[in-house]
Amino acid sequence: MKKLQQLHFGKRYTKLPEHFYSKIRPTPLPAPYLVAFNRDAAGLIDLHEEEALRDDFAEHFSGNRLPPHAEPLAMLYAGHQFGHFVPQLGDGRAILLGELDNQAGERWEIQLKGSGVTPYSRRGDGRAVLRSCIREYLCSEAMHHLGVPSSRALCIIGSDEPVYRESAETAAVLTRLSPSHVRFGSFEVFFYRGQFDHIRVLADFVIDHHYPEYAKAENKYKLFLGEVTRRTAQLMAHWQAVGFCHGVMNTDNMSILGLTLDYGPYGFMETFDPGHICNHSDPQGRYAYDQQPQVGLWNLSCLAYAMSKLVSETDADTILASYAPHYYEQYVALMGAKLGLFKPGTEDLPLIYSWLELLQQNQLDYSNSFRMLGEFDAHEGALNQKLRDHFADRASFDAWAKAYRMRLLQDQQDDGQRKQHMDAHNPKYILRNYLAQHAIELAETERDYSEIANLLEILRRPFDEQVGMERYAEPAPLSARHLLVSCSS
């Protein structure tokens, strides 16, 4: 494990042509202090957790003190925002410090989010508010521990510097880690500009560093696009399975590695509603829960279009046509496991869908209902009274339970085994908005950061029972059901 000064930042992105980024130093953050520190993420960069206790830790991760020889930069990209192409975006408030290698042979890019204006800030102030840093910090870790590919979060550094959104808030800097921060929009920007050579350079860069198995293949761009397609399809299936809504699935927020990236007005679904919209700034529901899988494909078609000088139209069509099979394969595997099916297949889709319909009709909590179903008694004649009582419409439950029992009989697992399997796929603890909001309010009003640490600790083990923490598994109280989150962050 290393001390801070032993971290040696690489600078591979600076080897790319200068049109790909702007070198920029973070804007100093006045009187920074540590708000949250995640030892799991410190482990990813071999950083000794006691380094967080240093007096100068906040100086380093606020961007006030740069690592020696670092050449921080903001990355250029474009993107389709809510369906409309915006020719130039870029990191308007994030700065890449460089990348770090760990003992396990992984390489992590380290980005400071909220570290001041860059040439891509447009009219923004380059800052992130404490509220949004806490939300990204908690959710990216929660997703990772749920088994969903995601960027990670190392720490939050706060400051009393005021930042104005709908009202006055305070600034913070989030340090996030990802193997890459390249987005679909990183390719789109050069297509729009007609700089087709740059698209090839960027594709080669991403392939060499992240898809090295294709580097020597003759049809490497096709293989690369195919793999991004497969990963994105799988990611969408993961989001559906955990009930996650991203909220702003613009192509500038789509990771070239198929990771969840750029947490804004996201939300975990509570009461099951396929049309659920988590982002108050998306009244049309373009990015509603049930739209996400097809938006994933739409976004990939934007990427394929941007890569059209590298991958023929016929090949791109074939690749895009592989999206649905990849998606359904992963969806059935994940949802089947949630229902405790031993070897689920597409023939199980009607059972999965009818269960979801039951949840919708009875207005039940998505995650808790799956967890509860682990108690199902498959013996002949069992009434499953306790479970049944959760459904306002008992008859519809009985009908579904009959079909479910028939399906379970095929697997010949005993109830105990099945419950264990289901508990490992149905989280007891998810990051409900009201839980995050409570941690935020304590932080904002009392400078009490203990609830952030407490939540992180719970979300690190979402599938465990965790005695004494049961109240964190409760759906939002009525008073917090209509908590609104918007793009403002």
Please pick, from the candidates 245, 248, 341, 358, the single residue that binds ligand AMP as defined by CB under 6 A. Answer: 248
- CB nearer to Mg ion: give 126 or 226: 126
Element (H, E) at 95: strand 94-101
- Residue 184 CA to residue 299 CA, distance in Å, equals 8
- Does 365 bind Mg ion (CB under 5 A)? Our answer is no
Decide if residue 262 touches Mg ion (CB under 5 A): yes
Residue 126 binds to ligand AMP (criterion: CB under 6 A): yes
What are phi and psi for residue 352, nearest 5 degrees? Answer: -65, -50
Residue 428: both structure tokens together: 């007891």
Q: Is the Cβ of residue 114 or residue 293 nearer to ligand AMP in the bound state?
A: 114
SS3 424: coil
Residues known to be catalytic: 252
Stretch of residues binding Mg ion (CB under 5 A), selected from 33-41, 150-158, 167-175, 256-264? 256-264
**Which of 179, 226, 264, 265 is the binder for ligand AMP (CB under 6 A)?**
264
Closest CB to ligand AMP among residues 249, 458: 249
Q: How far is the CB of 79 from ligand AMP (least distance, A)?
A: 7
Element (H, E) at 158: strand 152-164
SS3 assignment, position 329: helix
From ligand AMP, Mg ion, none, interface partner of 220 (C-beta below 5 to 8 A by class): none
Which residues inside 69-108 make contact with ligand AMP, applying CB under 6 A? Answer: 89-93
Q: How far is the CB of 41 from ligand AMP (least distance, A)?
A: 21
Tokens in use for 99?
């990348």
State in angstroms the smallest separation of the CB of 218 from Mg ion.
Answer: 34
Hey, is 264 helix, strand or coil?
coil
121 binds ligand AMP (CB under 6 A): yes
The only residue of 46, 59, 101, 125 in contact with ligand AMP, by rule CB under 6 A: 125
Question: Which range touches ligand AMP (CB under 6 A), out of 125-133, 146-154, 325-333, 376-384?
Answer: 125-133
Tell me if 268 sits within 8 A of 160, measured CB to CB: no
For residue 400, what are the contacts with CB-CB under 8 A and spacing of at least 6?
354, 355, 358
Count residues binding Mg ion (CB under 5 A): 2
Stretch that binds Mg ion, among 15-23, 110-118, 260-268, 358-366 (CB under 5 A): 260-268
Residue 51 binds Mg ion (CB under 5 A): no
Give the total of residues touching ligand AMP (CB under 6 A). Answer: 16
The entry of Mg ion, ligand AMP, none near residue 292 (CB within 5 to 8 angstroms by kind) is none
List the x/- string, 129-168, binding to ligand AMP by CB under 6 A. Answer: ----------------------------------------
CB of 349 to ligand AMP, least distance (A): 33
Closer CB to Mg ion, residue 253 or residue 369?
253
Return the closest-CA partner of residue 157 out of 29, 66, 62.
62
Residue 327 CA to residue 324 CA, distance in Å, equals 5
Q: How far lies 258's CA from each of 180, 207, 239, 253, 294, in Å?
A: 10, 14, 12, 11, 15
Q: Give 164 or 353: the residue with its C-beta nearer to ligand AMP.
A: 164
DSSP for 266-310 reads -EE--B--TT---BTT-TT-TT-GGGHHHHHHHHHHHHHHHTTTT
Is 262 an interacting residue with respect to ligand AMP (CB under 6 A)?
A: yes
Report how far apart, in Å, the C-alpha atoms of 289 and of each of 81, 151, 295, 424 are: 17, 21, 10, 23
**At residue 83, what are phi and psi to the nearest 5 degrees?**
90, -10
Residue type, 322: S
Spacing of C-alpha 409 from chain mean position: 36
**Least CB distance to ligand AMP at residue 252 (A):** 6
Instruction: For the CB of residue 250, give the shortest distance to Mg ion in the complex, in Å.
Output: 7
The answer to whether 270 contacts Mg ion (rule: CB under 5 A) is no
CA distance 26 to 96: 10
- Residue 108 burial (C-beta neighbours within 10 Å; 0-12, 13-18, 19+): buried
Q: How far apart are CA 474 and CA 271, in angstroms?
A: 12
- Residue 124 interacts with ligand AMP (CB under 6 A): yes or no: yes
Torsion angle, alpha carbons of 47, 49, 50, 56, to 10: 60
Tell me if 255 contacts Mg ion by CB under 5 A.
Answer: no
325 binds ligand AMP (CB under 6 A): no
The answer to whether residue 169 forms part of the interface with ligand AMP (CB under 6 A) is no
The least distance separating Mg ion from the CB of residue 11, rounded to whole angstroms, comes to 22
Report the residue number, 89 or 202, with the smaller CB distance to ligand AMP.
89
**Residue 188 and residue 206: Cα distance in Å, rounded?**
15
CA torsion 214-216-222-226 (nearest 10°) is: -10
| Cα 422 from Cα 413, distance rounded (Å) | 12
Q: Which of 38, 132, 159, 253 binds Mg ion (CB under 5 A)?
A: 253
Binder to ligand AMP among 27, 111, 253, 384 (CB under 6 A)?
253
Q: Which residues bind ligand AMP (CB under 6 A)?
A: 89-93, 120-121, 124-127, 248, 253, 262, 264, 489
Q: Which residues bind Mg ion (CB under 5 A)?
A: 253, 262
